[in-house]
Amino acid sequence: MFPTLAPVTRNLIIANVLMFGLQQFAPAWTTYYLALWPLGGPTRFSAPFEFWQLLTYGFLHGGLAHIFFNMFAMFMFGSEIERSMGTKKYLSYYFVCTIGAAIAQISVMASMQGPPIPTVGASGAVFGILLAFGIAYPDRRLIMIPIPIPLPAWLFVTLYALLELYLGVFGRQQGVAHFAHLGGAAAGYLLILYWRYARR
């Protein structure tokens, strides 16, 4: 089953798993240098922000469940989007979503009070892939847990985005970077619009 993955999707999953393994051996080092920290610093609560963190944070994860669900989503949706976009565009899309999610999260962290929490995870890029899937295959049926009813992909993505917005605005599900998810989707949507405009 694994060899059927498109090449970039396969390599991204492998890179994420390898980086998760590195985290287990050097958790303090990877968090300090590679996680996404707020602008400014360092402070007694945080490491300094560095430009490479806009990408590296997306290859770290906050636990086994975190990386499992992100990689499972990439396994389910990534290959189809890679094949529809093409390898080079898909790789660009993935990194644009990762950076867009980081910028959104940095903006949120700037308004936070209290000790900053480093951001990790590929969720912003995964949400961008999910958005692209909803655009490319709007009528494909997906199931949103806990709703046991298959929904068309466009509706699934819309409801998921609204849920993320609600959870982010009202501070539910602490410790989850909801605005990073939305930032990844927004960056992906803008890139898709740009490609369509450029093609015309």
pLDDT in tens, 3-13: 488 999 999 99
Higher pLDDT, 44 or 108: 108
92/146 Cα distance (integer angstroms)? 33
To the nearest 10°, report the CA torsion of 134, 138, 143, 149: 150
Provide mean pLDDT across the span 164-177. 66
pLDDT of residue 175: 60
What's the total number of domains in the chain?
Answer: 1
User: Confidence class of residue 181 from pLDDT cuts 50, 70 and 90?
Assistant: confident
pLDDT of residue 29: 92
pLDDT digits (tens, 9 = 90+) for 129-162: 999 999 999 999 887 666 678 888 888 888 888 8
83/17 Cα distance (integer angstroms)? 22
Q: CATH number, domain at 58? A: 1.20.1540.10
pLDDT of residue 114: 61
Six-digit token pair at 163? 């849920």
pLDDT digits (tens, 9 = 90+) for 54-103: 999 999 998 999 999 999 999 999 999 999 999 999 999 999 999 999 99
Q: Which residue has the tokens 């490491």?
A: 47
pLDDT digits (tens, 9 = 90+) for 110-124: 666 566 788 899 999
Q: Which residue has the tokens 């015309």?
A: 200
Residue 163, domain extent: 2-199
